[in-house]
Amino acid sequence: MAKEKMITLVLVGGVAAISTSAVLIRLAEAPPFVIAFYRMFFSALCFLPLAFKEMRGQKLERNQLTLAAGAGLMLALHFAFWMTSLEHTSVASSVVLVTTQPLWVFLLSVLFLEEKPTPRMWFGLAVALSGSILVTFTQGAGGESRLYGNVLAVAGAIMMACYFLIGRRLRPQLPLAVYSLLVYGSAALVLLPLIALRGLPLRGFGSFTWLMFAALALIPTVLGHNSLNWALKYLPATMVSVTILGEPLGASIMAVFVLREIPSLLEAFGSLVTLLGIYLVWQGNAGRSKA
């Protein structure tokens, strides 16, 4: 019973930590690509000491480095698209749409890995996509800019799905700290030339923005995502994945109190439909695994 309570507390704390991401990004007064770079750079630094300790006396293979570079590229593009979306649309819409990444994992697995989904998974996909379309085309006061932000959030979800599929192959081969260092470090290296090409500054920010950079690395990345990774040792992946559905709710509540940003009724309804669809897809996948 004590262990169950501990696991529950860690999961709830992990989702709460991840939910801070969108608001912290909004509070950082820097271009999205720069925010993404420092989030990845500081996250990689956090794992550096432990990764060197875990890899002492071991050698990385070329295919592992290639996969890490590919995963880092996808993660960099995910953050670039998603963080840019937050400049154009609401926190609620952006977070709900980027949380559709399991649906894209599902579709990519069907197309490229020849996985056979259950009828419930197809139904869940249809429900989730219907909700996503509602959210995407909820114009509100932002007009075309808001639509552009919503499309960017969907692009971020697709990149995250590609990252997940690559990571699913690489992660079992490496300790968590080594995997995190390689992927976060690769993502930071990908973002650097993009920042240079756009002529964006890497310094000259206020102390509050530097604090937001550090907070993004420590709270939603190191604490948030690692809490879920820890829980995977004790719970099925599907059960842990379902807890991610709490992120849009947590992020939206934070946005109301911190940013004074209240979602419209249509936006809220579309968000609930999307999350219901994602849950149905996960449930269908869980049923297939047990069969």
Task: Give the per-residue pLDDT at 238.
Answer: 55
Q: What is the DSSP string of 139-207?
A: -GGGTHHHHHHHHHHHHHHHHHHHHHHHHHHHGGGS-HHHHHHHHHHHHHHHHHHHHHHTT--SS---H
CA distance 136 to 130: 10
Whether the Cβ atoms of residue 153 and residue 93 lie closer than 8 Å to each other: yes
Joined tokens for residue 81: 């698209």
Residue-wise pLDDT for 127-153, tens only, equals 888 888 877 776 555 567 888 999 999
Backbone angles phi, psi at 113, to 5 degrees: -105, 0
Q: Which residues of 44-83 are buried (b: 16+ CB within 10 A; e: fewer)?
A: bebbeeebeebbeeeeeeeebeebbbbbbbbbbbbbbbbb
Q: For residues 83-95, give the mean pLDDT.
A: 91
Whether the Cβ atoms of residue 278 and residue 102 lie closer than 8 Å to each other: yes
Task: Give the per-residue pLDDT at 289.
Answer: 54
CA distance 175 to 187: 18
Alpha helices in 86-143 (DSSP H): 91-98, 101-112, 119-136
Residue-wise pLDDT for 220-249, tens only, equals 999 998 888 788 777 765 566 667 777 888
Task: Give the per-residue pLDDT at 266.
Answer: 82
Task: Give the per-residue pLDDT at 50.
Answer: 94
Residue-wise pLDDT for 203-217, tens only, equals 999 999 999 999 999
